[in-house]
Amino acid sequence: MKTITETTRTVPVIHEADVCVLGGSCTGLFAAVRAARLGARVVIVEKDNCFGGIATTAMVNVWHSLWDTVGQHQIIGGLTEEVIDRLDRRGAVTRWEKTNPNYGFTFNSEELKIELDELAVAAGLKIYFHTIFTAPHLDDQGRLDAVIVENKSGRGAIRARAFIDATGDGDLAARLGLETYFANHLQPATACARFSNWHTLNGAGYGKLLREHGPTFNLPQGFAWGVSVPGSETYLMAATRIYGINPADADDLTRGEIEGRRQVRVIQDIMRQHVPGSRLALEALPSRLGLRESRHIRAAYQLTGDDVLHGAQFPDAIAQGSYRVDIHHQDKPGITLRYLDGTETYNVPGLPKVTTRWRPETATNPTFYQVPYRCLLPRGGPDNLIVAGRMIDLDPVAHAAVRVMVNLNQTGEAAGVAAVLALQNNQPFRDVAVSRLQSTLAEGGFAAFFA
Amino acid sequence: MRETWHAHCLHRLTGAELLSGAPFTDAVGHGTYPVDIHSAEGTVLRYLDGREEVIKPGGEKTWQRWRSEDDPAPAYYQIPYRCLVPRHAQNVLVAGRLLDADREAFGGVRVMVNCNQMGEAAGTAAALAVRHHQIVAAVNIAELQSTLLAGGSIFPKAAT
């Protein structure tokens, strides 16, 4: 590969803070807000024009249940619950039954953007939208001292005492040269779309139509899910499948965006051609692909599929979940769902669901799983770096469950609280007292579940 | 965003040129959108035919004339290539809302159907400059215009 050498240059320190968060998805924003509410000066850097990440820019408008699998105990609280309540006051959320693994809450992603703005502003965050992280800067002692960012004002450094990598792809950790890995079979991506006049389909089964006519248009037999956007006449549909996309590769991402939009048009055309009287109209496309999996960071502990499926308890738990293992295949149509009660289903749009068991029946079943703090602590990283979001250390089966937003939001909140505790005690992230972390999380609205 | 930085180019399009439909030998785009200037006091739209529309922040509209009915009224204006060529540029062109235009001219040229043409002109000019190993300021205007024409651009009779 040809190279050029960039000129060494001096860049201005554009901001100094206690905590710097890279990435403004709900994971990153919740990290920032939790840290700010504990008195830290917090700066957050986001490449897009809004907060929310997958929930807003990718238009994925579903958060799963905050309850255990049987609806007995609330296992998730904090800012996820707070934001749901805020959306509820706007009439912008639908609450589904507590035990429904497919939906917990569906919401209006555009309303969410505004709620998240208000949350961030009220917390007193220094916000940089339209700003991209480019490089870490280490001081003479090898400590992570600043991050170099680039935006319309030019290039600049943001200096902080603690850093939270919530970039989704682990960009900061990767550029520090920390140990990272990709799953052998990254889950494929999906481009969502919003349509008007969905009612003119008159309940035609789109799964069957896509299955029958998709191959003519080179539409993968992937999966199809959709829901009405609360308080509107708009329908959100997620029925595309983009194979072979590495979200941490620029060329893949570009190809994926174009292929995702092409598939959206195919879906629209199939519905229009094969449903008499359909007046389906495309209203909105996402500003970025819905990416299920990307680079992972090797951490102090890798959560395994066995841990998740058997509901392993950890003394340093900082997040809990009940969303089932949900594997979107690269090598065949459909999705495989593996539940904590031992059942497993294989679902292909337009075909009957196939139910089996992944383990024999037992008298009792775990009803939730936990994510330990150690999954957020990069191995061999600077003392003042923690990661949060989909890049935490998870094997492919654990990732297939933990990857959803209600789970990852909690990793953000834990990282934000841990940052403040580390700074208060002048400690590396790895030395933060777990009991203090858990009690501080609980005071900030987490369900009291760590006992 | 309606307006941001402008580049200093070989020519700055003025409001007087725009509103009089001044012909340019190096025209690469044409437009009819009125000078449309938004401010806190409301919006003022100045049309090529001499009418002026004032829209107050409350939505109240009034019409007047900024030019006498007796004066000639152009049917369109032109955008010269030089507004896209930054001073001292060797191999850089600008296109879109950063073209060199004064405040009044920009109020008209800023809309997308106009800016789109600047993009097509800049792309074509870049290809010609590369092909002939020329700096952007030396691109042959006749060849640029004929290449744009061959690619579907329109050059009204009066403009050529």
Digit-coded pLDDT (tens) for A124-177? 999 999 999 999 999 998 889 999 999 999 999 999 999 999 999 999 999 999
The two structure tokens encoding residue B54: 């004032």
* Whether the predicted pLDDT of A203 surpasses 90: no
pLDDT of residue B159: 43
B4: in domain: no
Residue A331: pLDDT band with limits 50, 70, 90: confident
Tell me, yes or no, whether A179 and A197 share the same domain.
Answer: no
* Whether the predicted pLDDT of A451 surpasses 50: no
Tell me, yes or no, whether A27 and A119 share the same domain.
Answer: yes
Query: From CA A351, how far away is CA A362, in angstroms rounded?
Result: 29
Tell me, yes or no, whether A169 and A72 share the same domain.
Answer: yes
Tell me, yes or no, whether A73 and A17 share the same domain.
Answer: yes
Query: From CA A74, how far away is CA A72, in angstroms rounded?
Result: 7
* Half-sphere exposure (Cβ direction) of B144: Cα atoms closer than 13 Å: 28
The label of the residue with tokens 């749901």 reads A84
pLDDT of residue B38: 85
A148: in domain: yes
Question: What's the DSSP call for residue A242?
Answer: B
B137: in domain: yes
Over residues A261-282, mean pLDDT:
94
Last residue of a domain, one of A229, A259, A284: A284
Tell me, yes or no, whether A23 and A137 share the same domain.
Answer: yes
A327: in domain: no
Sign of CA dihedral A86, A92, A95, A96: negative
Last residue of a domain, one of A234, A261, A284: A284
A450: in domain: no
pLDDT of residue A447: 62
A197: in domain: yes
For residue A161, give the CATH number of its domain: 3.50.50.60
pLDDT of residue B105: 97
Which H or E run contains A423?
helix A405-424
B5: in domain: no
Contacts 24+ apart (CB under 8 A), A359-366: A359/A309, A365/A69, A365/A311, A365/A340, A365/A341, A366/A309, A366/A310, A366/A311, A366/A340
Tell me, yes or no, whether A248 and A390 share the same domain.
Answer: no
B7: in domain: no
Tell me, yes or no, whether A279 and A392 share the same domain.
Answer: no
A390: in domain: yes
Total domains, chain B: 1
Mean pLDDT of chain B, nearest integer? 94
Does residue A187 contact residue A54 with C-beta atoms inside 8 Å?
Answer: no
Tell me, yes or no, whether A149 and A19 share the same domain.
Answer: yes
Instruction: For the sheet with A235-238, list strands across it.
Output: A225-228, A235-238, A193-196, A281-284
Tell me, yes or no, whether A86 and A124 share the same domain.
Answer: yes
A297: in domain: no
SS3 content of chain A, % helix, strand, coil (to 5): 30, 25, 45
Rg for chain B, CA atoms, rounded: 17
Over residues B68-96, mean pLDDT:
96
A427: in domain: yes
- How many of the other CB atoms lie within 10 Å of CB of A213? 17
B86: in domain: yes
* Nearest Cα to Cα of residue A170 among A160, A162, A159, A181: A181
Tell me, yes or no, whether A177 and A197 share the same domain.
Answer: no
SS3 content of chain B, % helix, strand, coil (to 5): 30, 20, 45
The two structure tokens encoding residue B153: 């651009």
| Bridge partners, B38 (sequence order) | B43
| Bridge partners, A345 (sequence order) | A337, A355
Residues of the domain holding B47: 15-153
pLDDT of residue A448: 55
Tell me, yes or no, whether A180 and A199 share the same domain.
Answer: no
Q: Hey, which bits of A270-360 come out as E strands?
A: 281-284, 296-297, 317-321, 325-328, 335-338, 343-347, 354-357
Greater confidence, A9 or A318?
A318
User: ipTM, 2 decimals?
Assistant: 0.88
Amino acid at A86: R
pLDDT of residue A80: 97
Query: From CA B154, how far away is CA A163, in angstroms rounded?
Result: 55
Last residue of a domain, one of A284, A301, A322: A284
The label of the residue with tokens 């066995």 reads A306
* Whether the predicted pLDDT of A68 surpasses 70: yes
Over residues B23-36, mean pLDDT:
96
Total domains, chain A: 2
Mean pLDDT of chain A, nearest integer? 95
Residues of the domain holding A240: 193-284
Residue A350: pLDDT band with limits 50, 70, 90: confident
For A372-403, the pLDDT digits (tens) are 999 999 999 899 999 999 999 999 999 999 99
Sign of CA dihedral A162, A416, A188, A214: negative
B109: in domain: yes
For A14-66, the pLDDT digits (tens) are 999 999 999 999 999 999 999 999 999 999 999 999 999 999 999 999 999 99
A451: in domain: no
B2: in domain: no
Query: Poorest-confidence range of A346-350, B62-66, B85-89?
Result: A346-350
Tell me, yes or no, whether A201 and A178 share the same domain.
Answer: no
